[in-house]
Chains A and B, each alone.
Chain A
C-alpha cells in the first residue's frame, strides 16, 4: 500500500512537533525515520497510524484519505518500543487478539485464529512458546510476539517505533537482520523509527532523516552518506569535519588562503565546508590547501585519526590517515578534501 503524507503539520498545545511534512512511501518498501530524540519521528508514525490527528494536512493510503478514518479502521500494524503486550493473555492469545475482536463474518472461527497465531509464531521463530505469558519471555522474544501480533491483522502498513530500542546491542543486531528477512518474505510496506543511524542505514531501502520537526533528506543509505544535502545530515550521519570558509567568485577561501576548491552553485559570502575525515588527499606543497598543526593523533581501529588545528588554534578538524603513513609523524599537515560540500551560512546569504 502506497502511503502519502501531504503537508502534515502537528502542534501539541501550540508547540509545533512537525512542520509541513510531506513524504511518499512506496508499496512494499522498508523505510526508516531517522533523527535525534525529539525530532518528531514518533509523532509522524503515530499520525500515520491514526493515534494522533494532524493539525493540518492529510495522509493517504493508496487513493483514499486515511485522515477520515479512525485508528481501528485504518488497519495498521503498530509495534511499540516497550512491546505493549497484553500481559494477561498467552502469546497465542496476544497474536490472535486482532482477529478475535473482529465483528460478524470478518471474524474467523476460533480454531482458525489459533492456527494463524501458530503460523505467525513460526514466522517469528518462536514455535512452542504459544502458551507462555509475556512476562515469561525475554525482551527480544516479546518484541517478536508484538510483531507477530501486528502482522496477524494483515495490516496495510506496518509501523515500528524504535522496536529494538530497549534491547541490548547483541540482540538488536540479530533482530535487525531478522526483521529484514521477515520483510523480504512478507513484503509489508514498513516504516520504522530509530535514532540509530547504523540500524537505519543497514536495514532500510530508504532513509528519512528528520530534525526539529522537519524532513531533512530522503534517500538511500548511499544518498544519505555520500550526498548529504544539509549541514545537519552531514553532521548527523557518519563522521564529518567542518570549517568556516568564504566563497568569492566560485573560489573557496579559508581566511586569507585559497583552499584550491571551486564551487559554482554557492553565492559569494560566508559558508561552511563539510567533508568526511577519510575523504581527503595529503599534499606536499601548498598551492591551495588546508594546512594545520597536529593537535592529537589516535589510533581508531584500522586507521589513525589526526586532529588538526587550522588557522591558529581557532578550528579543529579531523582527518584519517593510513596507520603507517609518514605524515602522522609530522607536526604540520597540508591536505585537501576530495569529497566535500559547501553550505552557505543562512544569516549571510544576502551579503
Chain B
C-alpha cells in the first residue's frame, strides 16, 4: 500500500458512492437544459461579427432599455432585501392572528401568472386606482413610469428573499441573542452585530435570486410600465419587439449582452457569497 498522498487526484476517495454517474448526469442535464440553448445565443451573436454586434449593442434605445432593466432590477432587489428580511423577521419572531395567512400570501408572486400580477398592479397604481389616486395629489406617478417597473419587480422578487432568509432566521439560537444582551449589547447592537452578520449569506442569496428574477421578468412589467421607448421600456420587451420586426440580429445582440452582464453579476455575487460564508464562519 504505497500511495503518493500529495498527488492531486480528480476524484478524492469517498465513502459516498456514485460520484462518477452523478457528475456525468449533472453535466449532461445542465448541457441540455441550460448550456446548449444559451450557447445558441452566443453563436448567433458571434455570427454578427464584432462590428455588426457593436453597432447593434450601442444603439441608444438598446442601451437605455438595458439601463432601465438592470437599474430597476437592482433597486427592486435592494428594496426586497430590506423589506423581505423584515417580513421574514416578523413571520419568524412574532405570533399573531393571521400570521399563517401572511406566510402563505408571501408565495403568491411565485404562483400568480405574471400577467395577472401586472394587470392588478397597473389597476391599483394607475392615477385613478386605489393607491394611485392617493399618490397622485403628491405628484407621484407610479403606473406607466420607471417607478411602476420597480414596483412590479419588487412584487415578483419578494418571496425569493423571504424564503431564503426565513429558514436561516428560524435556526438562530435564542441563546446567542441572550448572550449578547448579558454582555451589555442593546437590542439594536444585537441585531446589527450578531443577527444580521449571521444572516448575511442567506440575504445575499436572496438578493441574487431576486435580482436575477427581476432582470428576466417580462409579463408583469409590460402592463404597468407604459413601455415608452427610452423611458420605461425594458430590455426583454425590446427583444420581443425586435423579434416581431423580424430583426433577429438585433434581438440576439440584446440577448447576448443581457446574458453576459447577468452572468458576471451573478458570478460576482457568488464570489461575495463564498467570501461571506467563510467570513461569517460557515465554511469548515
Q: Which A residues are closer than 8 A to B by beta carbons?
A: 49-51, 71-72, 74-78, 80, 82, 84-89, 97-98, 101-102, 133-135, 146, 149-150, 152-153
Bound-state CA distance A306–B259 (Å) is 83
With an 8 A cutoff between CB atoms, is B173 at the interface?
Answer: yes
**Which 9 A-B residue pairs are closest in the complex by CB-CB distance?**
A98-B183, A88-B280, A84-B175, A87-B281, A84-B179, A78-B182, A133-B281, A101-B185, A88-B197
With an 8 A cutoff between CB atoms, is B258 at the interface?
Answer: no
With an 8 A cutoff between CB atoms, is B116 at the interface?
Answer: no
Bound-state CA distance A153–B185 (Å) is 11
Instruction: Say which size band chain B's interface belongs to.
Output: 20 to 34
Contacts of A82 in B (CB 8 A): 173, 175
Contacts of A149 in B (CB 8 A): 179, 183
Bound-state CA distance A102–B194 (Å) is 15
Question: Do A134 and B193 contact each other (CB < 8 Å), given the known contacts A82-B173, A98-B183?
Answer: no
With an 8 A cutoff between CB atoms, is B134 at the interface?
Answer: no
Whether B182 contacts A51 by the Cβ 8 Å rule is yes
Contacts of A80 in B (CB 8 A): 175, 178-179
Whether A72 contacts B194 by the Cβ 8 Å rule is no
With an 8 A cutoff between CB atoms, is B157 at the interface?
Answer: no
Whether B186 contacts A101 by the Cβ 8 Å rule is yes
Residue of B nearest to A70 (CB): B181
Contacts of A76 in B (CB 8 A): 182
Bound-state CA distance A97–B200 (Å) is 19
A sample of 25 cross-chain residue pairs with beta-carbon separation below 8 angstroms, ordered by A number, consists of A51-B181, A71-B178, A71-B181, A72-B181, A74-B182, A75-B184, A77-B182, A78-B178, A82-B173, A84-B176, A86-B194, A86-B198, A87-B281, A88-B200, A88-B280, A97-B180, A97-B183, A98-B183, A98-B184, A101-B184, A101-B193, A146-B179, A149-B179, A153-B183, A153-B184
* B74–chain A nearest beta-carbon distance, Å: 26
Bound-state CA distance A246–B233 (Å) is 97
Residue of A nearest to B193 (CB): A101
Bound-state CA distance A133–B185 (Å) is 21
Residue of B nearest to A75 (CB): B184
**A-contacting residues, B159-216, CB 8 Å:** 173, 175-176, 178-186, 189, 193-194, 197-198, 200
Residue of B nearest to A78 (CB): B182
Interface 0/1 of B250-284, CB less than 8 Å to A: 00000000000000000000000000000111101
Residue of B nearest to A80 (CB): B175
* B168–chain A nearest beta-carbon distance, Å: 12
Whether A135 contacts B182 by the Cβ 8 Å rule is no
Whether B279 contacts A88 by the Cβ 8 Å rule is yes
Pick the residue among A77, A85, A87, A153 that contacts B280 (CB under 8 A).
A87
Residue of B nearest to A72 (CB): B184
Contacts of B284 in A (CB 8 A): 135
Question: Do A84 and B173 contact each other (CB < 8 Å), given the known contacts A78-B178, A97-B180, A135-B281?
Answer: yes
Contacts of A98 in B (CB 8 A): 183-185
